[in-house]
Structure 1
Amino acid sequence: MSELNVSTSRHTWAYLNRVVEGPSPTLHGLLTQYPAEEIARGIYKGEDWIGPLRQATASRRDWLRQDEDLAAAEAVGARLITLDDAEWPGEEFARAFGFYHQGLVDAPATFDDQAVPPHSLWVRGGNLREAVAQSVALVGTRAVSRYGWEAGSLLAGGLAAHQWTVVSGGAVGVDTAVHEAALDAGGQTVAVAACGIDISYPARNARLFDRIAGNGCIVSEFAPGTRPQRFRFLSRNRLVAAMTSGTVVVEAGFRSGALNTLNWAEALGRVAMAVPGPVTTSGSLGCHQRIQDGRAQLVASVDEIRGLVGKVGEVDAAGQYELEFQPTPVQRLSRNELKVYDSTPPESAEEGASAEDIAAAAGMRVALTIHLLVAMQKMGVITRSGAMWQRT
């Protein structure tokens, strides 16, 4: 039997990453009591004190592939980071999983075995902690519609323009749309993979992953060479939700897997959001159901998202709309002014009307009508030619 190489911290963590596939509540608990090197030796020797890990790692404990895994990561420009590293997003993980264990939300029972941080991460690209310090997850269906693509692109580009990092899963469909839009807007984006860091999945997004690594990062909890499997996507989703301030489902059918990420956002105390879709298709039924049930905030703009996930008072979405969609002069009229305005012939009419006729049509006193006509003339919504009045 070969000797376990724990000559460096990286070798120790690479061994643990390979033989204990996350998430692992047992390993997480042990790491609060023992050094990683001691745990690695305990696993390798199959010692009793490691508890359930002894049986869980029995078939893998002699997988001594640290050198190969570290080399495979280095070959694609990736590295292994742990809670000992400055770029480890420990604050985000502590808040998210700490919230879960307060028991404030009725989360699915299946989450209990997964609601722990990763024990290590493979990262390709920039500094992970800095990238997710101000971030929002945008996720959705792989079978994206034109509407979903445009909505995701609009939101991702707008968030990137306001220095928010867009986090998603790197899949085809909505994920691809939001990653590309964030990059095209000059922003950062993070892709959380459900496979080894050295695998481009889906293969068609290989170039996109290169772009992401150049202005953001790619993250994986799984050892190099690990193939994508359905259960790994579900594990991956918790990290997408945990590292971000909130999760937006852009487009999702009634049973879309993207809703699992929204479940995690709820469970981890993050803001759960959903974009409404057209009623003419079933592509957004999942979004509509969550909104209807009160489990997701309806969002339809970048400002609405920022208002929910940003600092209190940082963004007033209603105020932004007031600035963006200024009322017309006619919409500013009082009730009495509007009665007089509507009773005045339009400019397209052959001739205007006298103040007396307008007062009669509006059911108002002549003196008040004249006063209001003069006021609206100053506003530019009423014109006068001699004794005749018309509305613009």
Structure 2
Amino acid sequence: MSALEKQLINRISKAGPISVADYMTECLLHPEHGYYATRDPFGTEGDFTTAPEISQMFGEMLGLAIAQAWLDQGAPSPFTLAELGPGRGTLMADILRATKGVPGFHAAAQVHLVEASPVLRARQIERLVPTHVTHHDSIGTLPDAPLFLVANEFFDALPIRQYQRDGDGWRECQVGLEGDKLAMGLTAPLPVPALDHRLDDTQDGDVVEICAPAQGVMAKLADFIDAHGGTAFIIDYGDWRSVGDTFQALKDHAPVPVLDTPGEADLTAHVDFEALARAATPLSAHQMTPQGVFLERLGITARAQALAGKLSGEALDSHIAAHRRLTHPDEMGTLFKVLGLTRADAPDLPGLQRNQSQARPDGT
């Protein structure tokens, strides 16, 4: 039994069941025993591998897309180049390398990283030398300036609350106890005004997930971009509208039960992109696009072919596999989606198509 599990059992035994959001927060961010507070979870020695760790091509494509959006919006200077949840700093390093030939881009860019983990902050500083990096605990302290932002696998780790449909109301899923072990349970039926609009497309027993922190981040992001200009590229796994239980845990690159070894496994849930777009009003949301389609539109295959010409043997095989993993529909190409956000009067974003219907608050 982990140290955090003992603390959670003691807390629940005294005060009663806790929400899934509270459980996720404790497991991921507890200052002593939280998953992100105590380790570097990335790569083959960690618990999962993200797209920037798979291939430099991912960051290169994103970097050039950001630079083109910056040029299309008049090349403002200075501007904030920001990343939410930057991991080891690999993505930002690839973005900076890919854009070093864009005239004026590096001179105007001020790099800001939103990162809660002290372990990962140290990795990011090491990775990005000699670039000056400013760290933030939250998006709210970013400077008042044009904001060009990327968030790759950031929103999936934010705490969710789960609700199960029960007639015209809902029961909230909670973490409680069965004997002396953690167990999932349900509250009594209760109204949830935030889910009134989901009574039309769900039925008894359906699970819907709400991520209030994600909506708060998006609202603040919208304030920055609406006031100062800029854009955001959001890449994560999920779909346009949440339905079903997607709460999951990963340890040593394999799924594990969500209540096992709290604090020692990564906890995530699929992202509800419709909710993100709603929260970003009045920004214009470009059409949610599969990652593979997005990367192909940006020219990843041509880049892969150019790199392949310098490789052979196992290195070439690994390179080909990385391209497939990032783009193929049976791998990350379809599971992961891209959402782009700009002001309504801004030019279209590279790799994405503007879809006014998805930008509306009612999603129609």
TM above 0.5 = no
Which has a greater percent of helix?
1
Which is bigger in relative contact order (C-alpha 8 A, separation at least 6)?
2
Q: What TM bracket, shorter-length normalisation?
A: 0.3 to 0.5
The alignment's TM-score, normalised by the length of structure 2, stands at 0.32
Which has a greater percent of strand?
2
Higher gyration radius (CA): 1
